[in-house]
Amino acid sequence: MDTPMTEHNHFTDHRIKQHVSADGFGSWLLQRVHEDGGWDRTFWVRITAADGLLRVTGDFNPIVFAHGPLDPVTCVGWMGDRPVGSPYVSEKASIGSGGRDVISRWSTEDAAEDIREMIAGEAWHREEHDGEPSRSELALREGLELRPDYSDHFGCLLIHREIMDHDGDAWEYVGSIGRRTSHALELAHLAVRRLWSLISEESS
């Protein structure tokens, strides 16, 4: 599985350069500070909260978290206080950004890793019960053997189809094989966490 990004990777040194506030609206621009005191535009990020939506834009694809609190600061805390990798974060970003495909990336290497983990689980269950390999285990092994010419979403779909050709009921367990959270979503959430940390420091 992927190692989650950490705040140190990108946002540890970011500070609030600009804050705009109005009734039901808040916007914060985060940037790094140069050693000479100037602002660094590299990897800037703007976080805007209004109408229960938390929009994050910057040097990556925009992400919108939906169905948050109406108060802007509370809305930042609503997402900024969530742990990295939380399914809740992905759920709200999927709703706000236009669906799971928008906040996902696909890799056949990740698909192979997922399949190996699933085969290991099937094998453990089989050994515990002294049984024969299940249809799903055999289908997964066929999927693992496939080497598609594509390494992205289309390649993952070919692997899914190969498994389903050997197990017609496989869609329940193969639909997300090879899917990972997009880097844009990871970065957006880390930026919100950094902003929430800065807001909390200011109010303490």
Residues 83 and 130 reside in one and the same domain: no
Phi-psi region of 85 (alpha: psi -120 to 50; beta: other; left: phi over 0): left
Task: Output the CA–CA distances (angstroms, integers) from residue 44 to 15, 58, 69, 130, 152, in the order listed.
Answer: 10, 6, 25, 57, 28
Residues 92 and 125 reside in one and the same domain: no
Question: Closest Cα partner for 119 from 99, 132, 134, 98?
Answer: 134
Residues 155 and 93 reside in one and the same domain: no
pLDDT of residue 130: 65
Residues 174 and 190 reside in one and the same domain: no
**Does 55 map to a domain?**
yes
**Does 2 map to a domain?**
no
Residues 24 and 45 reside in one and the same domain: yes
Residues 57 and 112 reside in one and the same domain: no
Residues 93 and 13 reside in one and the same domain: yes
**Does 122 map to a domain?**
yes
What is the per-residue pLDDT across 168-184, written as a single tens digit (0 to 9) for each?
888 888 888 999 999 99
Residues 196 and 166 reside in one and the same domain: no
Residues 78 and 15 reside in one and the same domain: yes
Residues 136 and 188 reside in one and the same domain: no
**Does 20 map to a domain?**
yes
Q: Which domain holds residue 176?
A: 105-181
Q: How many domains does the chain have?
A: 2
Structure tokens at 180: 């990972």
**Does 36 map to a domain?**
yes
Residues 53 and 110 reside in one and the same domain: no
At position 75, the amino acid (one-letter code) is: C
Which DSSP letter does residue 1 get?
-
Which DSSP letter does residue 71 get?
S
CA distance 180 to 184: 11
Contact 180, 35 (CB under 8 A): no
pLDDT of residue 35: 80
Residues 73 and 130 reside in one and the same domain: no
Contact 60, 188 (CB under 8 A): yes
**Does 1 map to a domain?**
no
What is the per-residue pLDDT across 122-154, written as a single tens digit (0 to 9) for each?
887 777 666 788 889 999 999 999 999 999 999
Q: Count the Cβ atoms, other than its own, within 10 Å of residue 119.
A: 18
| Residue labelled with tokens 């692997």 | 159
pLDDT of residue 134: 86
Point out the residues of the chain with pLDDT beneath 50: 1-4, 8
